[in-house]
A and B are shown apart, each in its own frame.
Chain A
């Protein structure tokens, strides 16, 4: 395949109080082997050469694990491909002459900082509310093999724990709900014996903080699961609801 010429329509917003608008750019000679963010690098080099302000976007590891990159591309979180982050999206997914729409995550709880960068500190605050096991790091805990854990439970906890905290679930959800994110953390601990001691307090506090941050509720659409780059299952939301119910019954 030969190289592509593309039209980009990108959300530009100079700070949280700016109104923001879509701005059109052209890029040419884009190789199909480039990652989406490398295409954005090409655009930014072009803008810098012209003395214009480059497009601000979050990115770091560029291998799909840090959870920093966060673009809403042609109406989908992390773009058209599945089970990947924006940095793993490659240009071969697009065709010569395409127009690509690039927007930030949009949610009340994720205010735009600039252009495509949003503030996801609400996720951190939910974790502060209970996303941990209260054990000191003294090294004086019991031996790691003192307590066998069924392989199935450990594997399921691992599946929940692979959440990278990118926020694609929130950006995708029509209610801007964070329940897949919170459900994943609650589930990781709920599935392990170490998490049982504080289970009731944890789920109550995390859900309360989630509501305080202004995330919406879950209406079981399942779009979050489809767009999640790590394939976090909806079952985690169900488990979180069960845990919450249990905590209320227990008082």
Chain B
């Protein structure tokens, strides 16, 4: 099968409008005859459900949580980018497009990214109209902040809870349609398979997580908006329930999976404190505006700190290694996420980690507090202020900027970050890879779409801050609802899809058999036992730095672990009741296949780009010595994998060559 991205002809700035002008439409009366299933109710799924229902389609929406409002988009902190140019600092759709392609290390599809930048401004208009309380200035106009990797202020925000406010906006739009009966909402339901009829996605098999009932749902199209697969690492900033099952099920039935090895490890998260750890908590990227990252210069001090004989504040300036400022004088502490994460790992691997596990570095606000304090004293005409006066005033400024984050940190660690540096370490955060989609967001299964983090399309090998919210809402509000009409226009005479067919029979039977297997397996280890083992393999060998030997080992070890899982997994409880262990078992079974494909993809891509760092592919000399080396000659493609068996060794690689007509390929330099 040849991949066709279906990118419209013409200049990049005109592609989307021309495409919309030409595609088929469904008349309003006929939309009432068409059903669409949406799996997932985060920013992408929630906004898509609402818009499709407004247009007149009958939507069935599914989420595993007890309400659509709880999808993990809610946890996004910092903001949402949009090329509004309200600050008059030279922003434009082209600049947003350029920054996103460059930030993604030139591994995303130009046409999709341009469209994203183009519709970004509409998102802000839409959300304000919905009553989203964005931050405003004293003149009553919208405020902006700046994020890593860009030179303009284009990030809109609602305190440190931008994801929450945008999701509640999409949720409110859904509620309006649920009230009208245009969205039928299935809370506490999990999709366990997709049903394909004559090559087209025509429905899903879902489990009611309260009663255990296995249900058949039919539709004319199926939209997967189930988020990313970061929990393959067990520990991540994802929610506990975040999973790849919906995405993996469609992959197994024909949807290609693209660039699984492109995963974002976020540099500023609260470090692991012990083996019982269930998840990791992100500290917003915005902290790097004022925090300085360091470890001790001398090993003696490292040991003294670990043993509690010294405190970080005891160390003199000359005994500290501000390694980002040392290595990247131009960008300093504000290098992109992938660079900052690798630098922290490098120091900790060399033995300079500052906590008991050896996996933590300091993020220090002392210099910022002093700087702001002095400034405040000057503003208030205090001559010869005491040190205490300066610090007290400086802490107030820092509190006004990051108060909620400092409070969150203190609640988790019991350390006061105003008085002692924070300890941070990188953690898995976001997956740029995902289901391959064409320009219309359709997967390689006809009538099956993937939107938001679940698809691969817009962020290349590294995502810039505040771009995930933008993509989720762009896909859901402004892209999918139009492109899907082109496909559905051929279904106006189809009528409701029956569920009493052999395709539904077979899919349901397979789902039920798997559940029965888990319940009756009576093995010796819990699901988490296997999930933690998988996570450790992934983190150690397919984590921040990867090499051929480690990746080959990972592929073997994951295959062995998978075999052991199917023999020894133990699931308590029954099939026809609430059973969190059963839910987890199904998800981990899929992660055990995905993890292997992830490692294989990382092995095939022998270049370093964005979040994917191959130790074999580094600059050997010159100013960039030791930095990641991209290989555009051999790897400027999207790796789209076709499923053949549970072993990723059988998966077939299809390449979508990337063309860069509007942007010149360059090495990223932050020196």
Contacts and interface: CB of A to CB of B under 8 A. Distances in A.
Interface string B70-103: 1010110000000010100000000000000000
A51 B528 CA distance: 15
Nearest to B164: A65
A153 B665 CA distance: 46
Interface string B164-181: 110010011101101100
Contacts of A113: 210, 578
A134 B176 contact: yes
B486 interface: no
B274 to A, nearest CB: 6
A124 B172 CA distance: 10
Interface in B188-216: 210
A68 B572 contact: no
Given A31-B276, A35-B278, A84-B411, A60 B172 contact: no
A82 to B, nearest CB: 10
Contacts of B142: 144-145
B274 A31 contact: yes
B131 A188 contact: yes
Interface residues of A, number: 78
Interface in A114-154: 114, 117, 119-121, 123-124, 127-129, 131-139, 141-145, 147-151, 154
Contacts of A135: 126, 129-130
Contacts of B279: 62-63
Contacts of A142: 125, 129
A48 B528 CA distance: 11
B526 interface: yes
Contact of B578 (A34, A51, A117, A138): A117
Contact of B66 (A121, A145, A158): A121
- The residue in A15, A81, A162 that gathers the most chain B C-beta atoms within 10 A of its C-beta is A162
A149 B139 CA distance: 8
Nearest to A123: B67
Contact of A137 (B47, B164, B168): B47
B478 interface: yes
B240 interface: yes
Given A117-B578, A139-B122, A145-B142, A65 B129 contact: no
Interface string B460-496: 0000000000000000011000000000000000000
B345 interface: no
Using C-beta atoms within 8 Å of the partner chain, give the interface range for chain B: 35 or more
B580 interface: yes
B72 A61 contact: yes
A141 B122 CA distance: 8
Contact of B161 (A65, A68, A139): A65
Given A144-B124, A158-B165, A52 B572 contact: yes
A12 to B, nearest CB: 13
B75 A90 contact: no
B478 A38 contact: no
B1 interface: no
B98 to A, nearest CB: 23
Nearest to A14: B577
Contacts of A143: 125
B273 interface: yes
Interface stretch (A94-102, A189-197, A215-223): A189-197
A48 B581 contact: yes
Contact of B572 (A54, A114, A148): A54
Nearest to A118: B66
Contacts of A52: 572
A76 interface: no
26 contacts: A15-B577, A35-B412, A45-B526, A48-B581, A60-B72, A60-B241, A61-B70, A61-B72, A65-B75, A66-B72, A67-B70, A113-B210, A120-B67, A121-B67, A124-B178, A128-B179, A138-B51, A139-B125, A141-B128, A143-B125, A144-B134, A154-B133, A154-B140, A157-B133, A165-B69, A194-B130
Given A133-B130, A154-B134, A154-B136, 12 more contacts: A15-B577, A35-B412, A67-B69, A68-B65, A68-B66, A132-B173, A132-B176, A134-B176, A137-B173, A141-B129, A151-B140, A161-B133
Interface of B: 47, 50-51, 54, 65-67, 69-70, 72, 74-75, 84, 86, 119, 122-131, 133-142, 158-159, 161, 164-165, 168, 171-173, 175-176, 178-179, 185, 187, 210, 237, 239-241, 273-274, 276-279, 281-282, 407-408, 411-414, 477-478, 526, 528, 570, 572-573, 577-578, 580-581
**Across chains A and B, which 7 residue pairs bring their CB atoms closest together, nearest first?**
A148-B140, A132-B172, A139-B122, A141-B129, A158-B133, A157-B133, A144-B128
